[in-house]
Amino acid sequence: MKTKLKIANDEGIKEAAYIIKNYGLVAFPTETVYGLGANALCERSAGKIFEAKGRPADNPLIVHVSSIDMLTGVVESIPEYAYKLIEKFWPGPITLIFKKKSIIPDFVSGGLNTIGVRIPNNRTALELIKEAGVPIAAPSANTSGKPSPTTAAHVMMDLDGKIDMVLDGGNCVFGLESTIVDLSGDASVLLRPGAITVEMLEEAIGQITIQTELLKSDDAPKSPGMKYKHYSPNAKLTIIKCKNSNRIIDFIKQKADANFKKSAVIATEESLYSYKAAGLNAYALSAEGLFATLRKIDDDKVEEAYVHSIEESGIGLAIMNRLKKAADSNIIDLDS
Ligand code: TXA
Ligand code: MG
C-alpha cells in the first residue's frame, strides 16, 4: 500500500475523512501524540489498526469524539462528577473511561465492557472527527512497543506502506500520551499519568486512587496496555538515581570503558551542560521531547543510554512512568 503524506489543511482533512468513512486508516496529530485513526463504530476498520501496529487484540483503543453529543452516543452513563473533569479539561489531554454502549464493537474495547474517550485539543483532530461524522478510534501511531510518535516523520518511520494516509500537522504540543482516569467503577482511578497531573485532578474531584503500575499479582490489569513492552529504544536504557551528577559521570565513564559500547546520558536541561563538559554524549530530557530523544538515540546508534531520574510529582510522574517502561524497570540507585 502507498501511504500518502498530506499537509493538514482543509483539503487534506477532507481527503482523510473520506478515507476514514471508507474503512481506511489515517494517522493524525493531536495535542499529545499522533494517533492512528479508524471509524470506531466499525469492526472491519478497527481491525486494520491492530494489524498495522502489530497490537495485541486485548489492548483496547481510545475513542476520540468532537462533542458531548458524540460522547453520549457511545457511553452507557456519565457519573455526575465526570462533568467536573469534562468541563475543566476537555478538549484536552485526558481520557476518561466509562461503561460502553453496544454500538462500540467489543473488538475496539479489547473485549472489555468499558471504553476510554477523549475530546482532543487539536484543530486538525477535531475537524477530522467532525468531517468524518463518526467517533474515531486511535491508539498512538507507532509500531507496538516503540516510542509514541510526536511528528509525522516518526509515524512514517514506523507505518509507511501499512496505512492509507498521514496528516502532517507539525510537532505535538505535549509529547506524552493523555492522562487516563477510569470512572467506570465506584472510585476514580488514575491508570496512566500525563499532562493533567494528579495534583490537577485532585483539585477538581478530590482524592483519586493511583494504579499506574502493574502489580506483581496482576493477571488481569485494569489497563491491558500496562502489561506490554513499551517505548523501547534499541539501546539498553538504565535509569540512574543519584543526587550527585559527578558520581553519575564517573559511573557512566567506567561502564563505557568496561563495555566498549557507544553510550549516552539523558538529563534535564539544568544538568545537561555539566555532562557535555565532562565529554559525555548528552541528550535533553523533557516531556515534549522524550519520545523524540528515544528515537534519536537509536538513529545515532547509541548502545547504552543512562537517564538521570527526576522527582515523581507533577509532570515528573508521567515522565518517570514512560521512562520505567522504556527501561523495562532497569534502575540503579547510586545513593544507596
Ligand atoms: O494521548 C493519547 O491518549 C493518544 C492520542 C492518540 O489520543 N492515544 C494513546 O492510545 O495513547 P494508546 O492506545 O497508545 O494507549 C491507550 C492506553 C492503553 O494502554 C490501553 O490499554 C488503555 O489506554 N485503555 C484504553 N481503553 C481502556 C479501557 N477501557 N480500560 C482500561 N484501559 C484502557
Ligand atoms: Mg501507545
Q: Is the pLDDT of residue 172 over 60?
A: yes
Q: Which ligand is nearest to the CA of 176?
A: 1
What pLDDT was estimated at residue 217? Answer: 56
Q: Give me the torsion for CA of 80, 81, 85, 91, rounded to 10°.
A: -10
User: Which residues fall inside 5 Å of ion ligand 2, going by CB?
Assistant: 140
* pTM exceeds cut of 0.75: yes
Ligand 1, closest atom to CA 226? 19
Distance, in Å, from the CA atom of 165 to the CA atom of 318, rounded to the nearest integer, reads 30
- Distance between CA atoms of 283 and 307, rounded to whole angstroms? 9
Give mean pLDDT, residues 27-50: 98
Residue environment code for 254-282, b if the CB has 16+ CB neighbours within 10 A, otherwise e: eebeeeeeebbbbbeeebbeebeebebbb
Q: What is the mean pLDDT of residues 118-127?
A: 98
Instruction: Measure 214 CA to ligand 2 centroid, in angstroms.
Output: 16
Q: Which is more confident, 223 or 330?
A: 330
The confidence band for 52, taking pLDDT boundaries of 50, 70 and 90, is very high
Please state, in angstroms and as integers, the Cα–Cα distance from residue 20 to each residue in 12, 15, 51, 108, 283, following that order. 12, 9, 16, 15, 38
Q: With residue 325 as reference, give the H or E element that holds it.
A: helix 315-326
Q: Which atom of ligand 1 is nearest to the CA of 176?
A: 1
Do the Cβ atoms of 48 and 66 come closer than 8 Å? no
Nearest CA to ligand 1 atom 12: 139
Bond into 91 cis (ω within 30): yes
From residue 155, how far is each of 4, 29, 183, 213, 292 by CA, in Å? 12, 10, 31, 27, 11
Q: For residues 154 and 35, is the Cβ–Cβ distance under 8 A?
A: no
88-97, 180-189, 224-233, 307-316: least confident range: 224-233
Query: Using a 6 Å CB cutoff, which residues line ligand 1?
Result: 30, 32-33, 35, 59-62, 95, 97, 109, 112, 114-116, 138-140, 177-178, 180, 191, 222-225
DSSP 96-125: EEEEBPTTS-TTTTTT-SEEEEE--S-HHH
Segment 167-175 shows an average pLDDT of 98
Q: How confident is the model at residue 311 (pLDDT cuts 50, 70, 90)?
A: very high
What is the rounded average pLDDT for all residues in the chain?
94
**Centre of ligand 2 from the C-alpha of residue 219, in Å:** 20
**CA-174 nearest atom, ligand 1:** 1
The pLDDT, as a whole number, for residue 213 is 78
Higher pLDDT, 207 or 219: 207
User: Per-residue pLDDT for 242 more than 80?
Assistant: yes
Residue in this structure with the C-alpha cell 481491525, named with its chain if needed: 47
Confidence bin at 230 (pLDDT 50/70/90): confident
Rounded to the nearest whole angstrom, what is the distance from the C-alpha of residue 243 to the centroid of ligand 2? 32
pLDDT, greater one: 217 or 74: 74
Phi, psi of 286 (to 5 degrees): -150, 165
pLDDT at 221 over 80: no
